[in-house]
Structure 1
Amino acid sequence: MQNLALTVNPSKMVKEEITYPRTFNFDLSKLTKDSLISASEFESYISSKLKINGRLDNFGDDVEITSKNDSLEIKTNVPIKKSYLVFLGKKFLHKKELRDWVKIARNEKGFSLEYYNEENEEAEE
């Protein structure tokens, strides 16, 4: 019986390199339309809680947070995990007591805050 050795081809294990600056977008249009939250409110919460290199308010020139009418844009030159931004968004929703009705979903441009079971409610009406 032959010894079978597992070989790994290093050319197939190439990691994609992330280029900076990197942009993350949050679409808040559904909640701002219903006047549940405002983009400036969400921006102030994210900027007060976001940690860079383990410290609060350590942005410098590395992070720029801007809010427009119905969206929030985060431009960064340092690594920030998407899951960390989703975590901060969920904390914001919990603080506003909206966590039971609103979820953070991924879309083609970034993230959006949407109601749970929105499709089922439209089908019933």
Structure 2
Amino acid sequence: MVNVAAKKSAGGKGAKRPGKQVLKGKGGKVIKVSKKSQLKFNIDCSHPVEDGIMNCDDFKTYLQTRIKVAGKTGNMGKDVSLGREKHRITLSSSVPFSKRYLKYLTKKYLKKNNLRDWLRVSKNHTNHNQNRKHHRNPTRKPSAKTQYKMKGMDPKFLRNLKFAKKHNLSHAQQVKKAAAK
């Protein structure tokens, strides 16, 4: 399962905070500069890695090559960093970074490695800011009845369709009936 967690941290308790940063614009106008907040995303791959479905190192290298910063790949620098601890990948960013973009890259990696049918990215139940990959059951049973949308169809056609369903036999039933004669 993969958890994608987002946290904003602006120092901790007791951390020294610098004074307000101010820029002077045209005409001596004062423009306040907002503090940089540290974004942190955690991707937990523990369940797929334990099952032997996924390789965490490959996923990390995939993210390193694909993440775009300021519209360019391979431009992470000091702003964005990737770390790995066992089956957890941590992405920390000092520039604006979207959790949806990270989720998109995760889905793209799964599709590339033919794992999209087996795994999905979903929220962690303990923390609302986290996403987790669960195993998906690829063999879903089809429903017994196929439902047709009848709205807007010709009533005469619908009457004929109902009659055909009631009186016509399937191909297998027709073969059995012919063999019995």
Report TM bin, short chain. 0.7 to 0.9
Q: Specify the alignment match of 2:131 in structure 1.
A: 111
Q: Specify the alignment match of 2:48 in structure 1.
A: 31
Provide the rounded CA distance (Å) in 2 between the counterparts of 1:18 and 1:38: 37
Bigger-Rg structure (1/2): 2
Q: Specify the alignment match of 1:11 in structure 2.
A: none
CA contact (8 A) 1:50 1:57 kept: yes
Q: CA deviation at 1:111?
A: 2.4
1:75 to 92, 117, 126: 92
Provide the rounded CA distance (Å) in 2 between the counterparts of 1:110 and 1:39: 18
Number of residue equivalences: 101
Q: CA deviation at 1:18?
A: 9.3
Q: Are positions 1:55 and 2:72 aligned together? A: yes
Report the identity percentage: 29
Provide the rounded CA distance (Å) in 2 between the counterparts of 1:60 and 1:71: 21
Look up the equivalent residue of 2:136 and give its one-letter code: Y
CA contact (8 A) 1:104 1:111 kept: yes
Look up the equivalent residue of 1:40 and give its one-letter code: D
Q: TM-score, normalised by structure 1?
A: 0.74
Q: CA deviation at 1:19?
A: 6.0
Provide the rounded CA distance (Å) in 2 between the counterparts of 1:87 and 1:93: 10
Question: SS at the partner of 1:104?
Answer: strand
Provide the rounded CA distance (Å) in 1 between the counterparts of 2:99 and 2:120: 15
Q: Specify the alignment match of 1:94 in structure 2.
A: 111
Provide the rounded CA distance (Å) in 1 between the counterparts of 2:35 and 2:102: 17
Look up the equivalent residue of 2:47 and give its one-letter code: K
Task: Give the root-mean-square deviation of aligned CA atoms.
Answer: 1.8
Look up the equivalent residue of 1:64 and give its one-letter code: S
CA contact (8 A) 1:51 1:58 kept: yes
CA contact (8 A) 2:36 2:95 kept: no
Question: SS at the partner of 1:22?
Answer: strand
Q: Specify the alignment match of 2:61 in structure 1.
A: 44
CA contact (8 A) 1:102 1:115 kept: yes
Gaps of 5+ in 1: 1-16, 118-125
Deviations 1:77-101 (A, max 9, x none): 0111111100000000001101011
Gaps of 5+ in 2: 1-33, 138-181
CA contact (8 A) 1:39 1:68 kept: no
Provide the rounded CA distance (Å) in 2 between the counterparts of 1:18 and 1:69: 32
Provide the rounded CA distance (Å) in 2 between the counterparts of 1:52 and 1:106: 25
Question: SS at the partner of 1:90?
Answer: helix
